[in-house]
Structure 1
Amino acid sequence: MMARGFHVTSVVAAVFAAAAALVAQRQPPTFESTTRTVAVYATVTNTLGRLVGDLTRDDFEIDDNGIKQTLTVFSNDIQPITVVLLLDRSGSMKPNLELEVRAAETFVHGMLPFDRARIGTFGKSIQIDPDDFTSDRDALFKILRGDLQKEGPTPLWNAIDRAIDKLLLEQGRRVVLAFSDGVDEPMDFSGHAKSLKDEMKRAEDSDIMVYAIGMEGLAPMQAQHAVSGFGGRGFATRRRDDSMMQKPDEGMAKIAEATGGGYLELMSAGSSLGAFDRVADELHHQYALGFAPQKLDGKLHDLTVKVTKPGFTVRARKRYLAPKS
C-alpha cells in the first residue's frame, strides 16, 4: 500500500497538549475489584443527537433488576480508553478495503495521549499488532500503512473473541471497535467457530464495550468473483451495482446495543471518516458511573440507566455479571 502523508496542524497539536495537561490534573475514576463496584459507562445525547457532557450525579438513576441503586462513583471528566481496532479484510469487503484503512487512521489521529490501542485484521487469519497496547500513534499508522492481509472469509465473531482476549487483563475502559460488513463467514476453527450469542455474553460478562461500523459488502457470489477477478482484471474495474451488495448483518447492532457501545451504518467515504472521528470523541466524553451491588449471586443482572431530565437519550450496557459472595 502506498504511504500517505499525515499532516498535524499546530492547532491540533495544541489541542492534544491541552488534553494531556487536563488529564494530568484529573485522574480517571478507578473501579477496584476489592470494592465490587459495578462500572457503567454512559453516553448521553440530546434530541438533536449531540453529546451532552454537563449533567450531574443527581441527574442519573441506575436500576439493578428493577431496584434503584445509589451511585458510589460519578465522573464526567475525559476518560482514557484501551481499544482494539478490528478491520475486516474479507472478499465481501473488497470495495471498502482502502476506505476502512483511511477511517481507522482518522480514529487513531483522534486518540489522546493517554489512550492505548492495537490494530487487528481478520480474513484468512486473525492478526493483532503490535504485541502490546501502545499510545504511539506513529507505530499504529505504520501498521495501517503496511502490508495488511487481503481477501478471505469473514471470521467476525472469532475476531471479536480474540480482541476480548487481548483486553481482559487491561484496566479501565476497554473497547472493541469493529469495522465490517458483518456477514460472518468463519474459517475452519475445528468446531470452535464463535457466534453472536457467544460474544455478546462474553463481552457482557467481561464488561467490554463493542462499537461497530457496518458497511455494505459484496453478496456471497460477488465476493467470490472479487477474490478471483473478472477476466483477470478484478472486481474494482467494474462499476458498482447495488444489486451486487448486501447490507451489514444485524448482529453488529445487537452486540453494540447490549454492551453500551454504538453502531453506525455507513454508505459513503465522507460519512465514514467523520463517523470514526465521532466515535473517538464519544468515547472520551462518556460518564463513568458506579454502584455497589446489593445481591452477590454470580448471575447476570439487568441494568437500566436513566436521566431524570426530559429530552435525553442514554446508551449504556444492558446487563452485568454480579460477583459471587
Structure 2
Amino acid sequence: MGSAGFGRLKRACAAFWVASGLWPGWVVAQQEPHFRVEVSLVRILATVRDESGAVVGDLNREDFQVYDSGILQEIALFERSSELPVSVVLLIDVSASVAVKLREGQAVVREFLEVLLEGGHPRDAVALYTFCHDVVAETGFTRDYRRLARLASRLRTGAGTSLYDAVWFASRALEDRPGRHLILLVTDGADTTSVRTFQEALQAAHKADAVVYGILLVPVSSEAGRHLAGEHALISLATSTGGRVFKAFDLPGLRVALGGVLEEMRAQYLLGYYPRGVPEQPGGFHPIRVEVRRSGLQVLARSGYYRR
C-alpha cells in the first residue's frame, strides 16, 4: 500500500471512532512515527608529545580537532586518562630466547605490574596471555600483580610465533571491558605460525578500540641477523592503533621501555564523536586524523575504525 493509501486508511479509522463516540486514548496520543538512525560513538585514545619528545598532558577539548574521512567532527566526549580505568592484555612471546630474557628481568616485570595496578585507577586490570604456536590465556583480568608476576616467571617455552593470532584473541577479550583498552606485546621476532593475517589482527584491534604497544627484545644491535620485516610489521601494527614500539637491547633497556609505556598510559586523552556527514559504509573502514591547535606537537592516535 502506498503512503497515500495508508493515510486514507488512517483517516477512515479516525472517522469511525469519532462517529461512534468511542475514540480511545491510544488514538488520541498517536503521532506520526519518527525514525532515528543509531550512530555509534567513535572513541579515540590519543597521546601528544612535544618537539623534545616529552608527553603533553595539559590539553583541553578545544585544543583537538578530529577528522573522519576528511570531514571535521564535533568532539562529544573528552576525558583524561587519570579519570578512566584501563584494561591491559599482556601478551608474552614464549619462544626460548624471550623466556630467557624475561626470567632475567622478573623483577622489572613485577615492578611494572605493581606500579600499574597499585598507582592507577582502582578498576585497572591486567590479563596475561602467552603465545608460541598456540595462544594461551594464563589468567583473565585481575588486579593481583603478585599472581601475574608469578605466572610471568614460570612461562613454558614453545616453538613458533603466532603474533597476529595473539593480537586477535587479545582484542576479542577487550571488546566489552569498561574504559580504555591496551595490548602490551613482548616479543623478539616476527610472526611465523599465525592462522590470522596482519590485516585481521589490525582490524580486530580497531574494532576493540585497542591501542597496541610493543616491546621488541632486540637480539642483537646490528641489523644483520634480525628479522627487519617482522619488526616493521610490529611497528605498523602499533602506530596504526595509536601506540608505538619500544626497543630493548638489555635489562636496563627493558626497564626504560616499560617505563615509557606507563608514561604514555598515564597521559592519554580519550576523544569521542558521533560521525556526521561521512559515508555510511556499514562495516567499512573510516580513516581518522587527529590534530592539535598548538604548534610543534605530535599526536599518536589510531588511523581509523570500522563502522558498526
Normalised to the residue count of structure 2, the TM-score between the two structures is 0.78
Which moves more between the two structures, 298-307 or 275-284?
A: 275-284
2:90 pairs with 85, 88, 91, which one?
85
Q: Is the 8 A contact 2:99 2:155 kept in 1?
A: no
Q: In structure 2, give the amino acid aligned to 1:118.
A: A
What amino acid is aligned across from residue 66 of structure 1 in structure 2? G
Question: Could you say which residue in structure 2 is the equivalent of 1:267?
Answer: 249
* Cα distance change of structure 1 residues 178 and 77 upon mapping to structure 2, 3 Å threshold: closer
CA distance 1:47–1:54, change in 2 (3 Å): same
The equivalent residue for 1:297 is: 281
| Aligned counterpart for 1:107 among listed residues 112, 115, 120 | 112
Structure 1 residues 242, 56: closer, same or farther in 2, change over 3 A? closer
Q: Which has the larger radius of gyration?
A: 2
Q: Is 1:277 aligned to 2:277, yes or no?
A: no
Question: Which of structure 1's runs of 4+ aligned residues deviate more than 6 A?
Answer: none
Per-residue CA deviation, residues 159-194 of structure 1 (Å, 9 max, x unaligned), is: 11221222122222111110112311217xxxxx11
Whether the 8 Å contact between 1:123 and 1:149 is mirrored in structure 2 is: no
- Cα pair 1:88 1:121 within 8 Å, conserved: yes
Task: Give the TM-score normalised by structure 1.
Answer: 0.74
Counterpart of 1:185? Answer: 192
Task: Describe the shift of the 1:47–1:243 C-alpha distance in structure 2 as closer, same or farther (beyond 3 A).
Answer: closer
- Aligned-residue sequence identity (percent) comes to 27
CA distance in 2, matches of 1:51, 1:205: 26
Distance 1:242 1:106, change over 3 A: farther
- Displacement of 1:211 in angstroms is 0.9
**What root-mean-square deviation, in Å, do the aligned CA atoms of Structure 1 and Structure 2 show?**
2.3
Provide the residue aligned with 1:213 in structure 2: 215
Q: Quick one: which amino acid aligns to residue 40 of structure 1?
A: I
Q: How does 1:153-168 map to 2 (within 5 A)?
A: 153-168=160-175
* Partner in structure 2 of residue 286 of structure 1: 268
Q: Work out whether 1:309 is the aligned partner of 2:294.
A: yes
User: Contact 1:37/1:290 (CA < 8 Å) preserved in 2?
Assistant: yes
3-state SS of 1:194 partner:
coil
Report SS of the residue matched to 1:121.
strand
Q: 1:174 and 2:178 equivalent?
A: no
Residues 53/242 of structure 1: CA separation in 2 closer, same or farther (3 Å cut): closer
The runs of 5 or more residues in structure 2 that have no matched partner are 1-37
The residue type equivalent to 1:215 in the other structure is: L
State how far apart, in whole Å, the 1-side matches of 2:108 and 2:73 are.
Answer: 39
The amino acid of 1:144's aligned partner reads: A
> 1:153 aligns to what SS in structure 2?
coil
Count of equivalent residues = 262
Q: Which residue does 1:7 correspond to in 2?
A: none
In structure 2, the residue matched to 1:28 is none
Change (3 A) 1:250 1:92: farther
* 1:98 CA drift (Å): 2.4
Q: Does 1:318 align with 2:280?
A: no
1:96 aligns with 2:101: yes
More deviation, 151-160/45-54: 151-160
1:209 and 1:256 in contact (8 A); partners too: yes
Aligned to 2:76, the other structure's residue is in SS state strand
- Structure-2 residue corresponding to 1:4: none
1:59 aligns with 63
2-side partners of 1:94 and 1:86: how far apart?
A: 12
Q: What does residue 74 of structure 1 align with?
A: 78
CA apart distance, 1:41: 0.8
